[in-house]
Structure 1
Amino acid sequence: MNLRGTIPPHLGNLSFLLSLDLSSNHFYDHLPKELGQLHRLRILQLSYNRLNGEIPSWLGNLQRVRRLEMKNNNFTGTIPETLVNMYNLEILNLGFNQLSGQVPSSIFKISYLKIIDLSSNSLSGSLPNDMCQHLPKLEGLHLSWNELSGNIPFGMGKCNNLKILLLSYNQFMGIIPRTIGNLTRLQKLYLAFNNLKGQIPNEIGNLLGLEPLYIKANKGLIGQIPTSIFNISSLKTIVLSKNSLSGQIPSSNFNSTMVELISLYGNKLEEFGSAGIVSIKSDVYSYGIILIETFTKKMPTDNVFVEEETIRHWMESSLPKGAIEIADVDLLRREDEYIVVKANCISSIMELALNCSAELPEERKDMKDVVVELKKIKQRLINNIEHF
């Protein structure tokens, strides 16, 4: 409702209030302590405001609250231990604030919790190994974009009802525990941009309901891609790029009808060429697809690509029409005085992308040659603009 100002303390006099939703406004400043008098409150939603200060410890007095949602504010300081007193809590959402310090272990003892969202803060420290022991109903754990460290708890496998596990963009180290294969109801798994090492456990193949799998940018991850991953018939997205995986790309991945995107670039993988000779040109293929995505603003999973047409086939058939017809509209504006020069540059890049993503590995350019060609394209662009 575009409300502005501070939250009035007089709301604390509404002793029979069951639900207070002030979200998506412009409230600022601290939470008035008078709200701690609302002992009958079941729902407290304050997300998408500009509230600041520390999360007050008196929130623990609201023992009947089931939903505490305060995401997208400017709260600072630590998460108070007193939240454990909110023993009826089902949803705890404090994401997108400026919270720091450790995640209180007491939170993991609130047995009714279904969703814990603490993403996009500056939380640090490790997670307790027995974190799932008292969380039989937990369905979503959102901890991405923090500074959490230590190992991914071995006890994570006891969160039997977990559907969403988001741990990307942290500093987790150690191995991916095999017990993660016990999370048979898991639908989303994000472990990207951490310091994980060792091999991807074969038990991930037990997650038969998984749709996206993101284990990107963990340079310590080695070994082969488990073939069990490609037994997950529900998988649509597989992102294992920028690790240190080696060996052959499992040929079975091409037998899945559900997979829409596979990203494996930045590893040490091999694939077989048409003559059965091992090739190491899988990275350059992925790079070619990324070039197409970047300059067209299309994704391989877009609905426009149906049946037999892939993003590469679309590019191959569309390029003769000219770069202006297929390039991202933000890159080529018709009022731009350099539109012809830029269009020629993008056409050259798209031709290079098609070469990189040729179906047969032996037909693709070497990555060193790709870099040389890109430098030439850049220099031609600069020269043409200078002499325009």
Structure 2
Amino acid sequence: MGVEQVFGDPQLNLKSIDLSSNNLTGEIPKEIVYLFGMVSLNLSRNNLSGEIPSEIGNLSSLESLDLSRNHLYGRIPSSLSQIDFLGKLNLSNNSFSGRIPLGRHLQTFEASSFEGNVDLCGEQLNKSCPGDHTIAKPEEATGGDGDDFVFYKALYMSMGVGFFVGFWGLIGPILI
């Protein structure tokens, strides 16, 4: 029989949890995001399902996160990209979908951190996301990035007018 423990002291600093390979089921408890001093969390090789809690970014001290080889699904929360000290990330072999969040340093992780998630896309996996191609085509049609193209066109026109006025302002009186 298991014994349920309640952590009543909010100042309790739990630094590491490793519950890998324990055949755990259910969802990742939402309360885990309140363990602010957490440095390492390993829940790999279980039968966990559901989504990663969206407030995972609250774990600002997290250096290592391994949720690989579970049955987790949904989008990877964008708050995960806000964890500055995260040096080891493994979300492989789940059922995540959508774009890998952009921001800060999630782009620094290798493809192995995300592989085995068939519906996941992003530059880390060298896999374009639906809608990426429709965004790129209008830029090609305008010949540039829209605002930049207009800026450079105006810049070159004003340089031409300036040269013309300056040249004839100097040469004109000499010729007369």
TM-score (norm 2): 0.64
The answer to whether the 8 A contact 2:64-2:88 is kept is yes
Shift, 1:244, TM fit: 2.5
Report the structure, 1 or 2, having the larger helix content. Answer: 2
- Which of 10, 18, 32 is the aligned partner of 1:142? 18
- Counterpart position of 2:7: 109
1:242 aligned onto 2:100? no
Unaligned runs of 5+ residues in structure 2 are 138-176
- Write out aligned runs for 1:151-300 (5 A): 151-219=27-95, 221-228=96-103, 231-232=104-105, 237=110, 239-247=113-121, 249-250=122-123, 264=125, 269-270=127-128
Secondary structure of residue in 2 paired with 1:155: helix
Choose between structure 1 and 2 for higher RCO, CA contacts under 8 A separated by at least 6 residues: 2
Alignment of 1:359-374 (within 5 A): none
Percentage of matched positions with identical amino acids: 27
CA distance 1:152–1:135, change in 2 (3 Å): farther
Paired residues in the alignment total 131
Q: Give the Cα separation in 1 of the matches to 2:23 and 2:106.
A: 33
Instruction: List, as ranges, runs of 4+ consecutive aligned residues in structure 1 with deviation greater than 4 Å.
Output: 233-238
TM-score (normalizing by structure 1) = 0.31
- Cα distance in 1 for partners of 2:56, 2:45 equals 19
> In 2 relative to 1, CA 240–138 (structure 1 residues): closer, same or farther, beyond 3 Å?
same
Residue 4 of structure 1 is matched in structure 2 by none
State the shift of 1:234 in Å. Answer: 10
Shift of 1:225: 1.0
The structure whose Rg is larger is 2
1:333-372 aligned at under 5 Å gives the runs none
Q: CA RMSD in A?
A: 2.9
Q: 1:235 to 1:212 in 2, by over 3 A?
A: farther
Unpaired segments of 5 or more residues in structure 1?
1-77, 82-104, 112-133, 251-261, 278-388
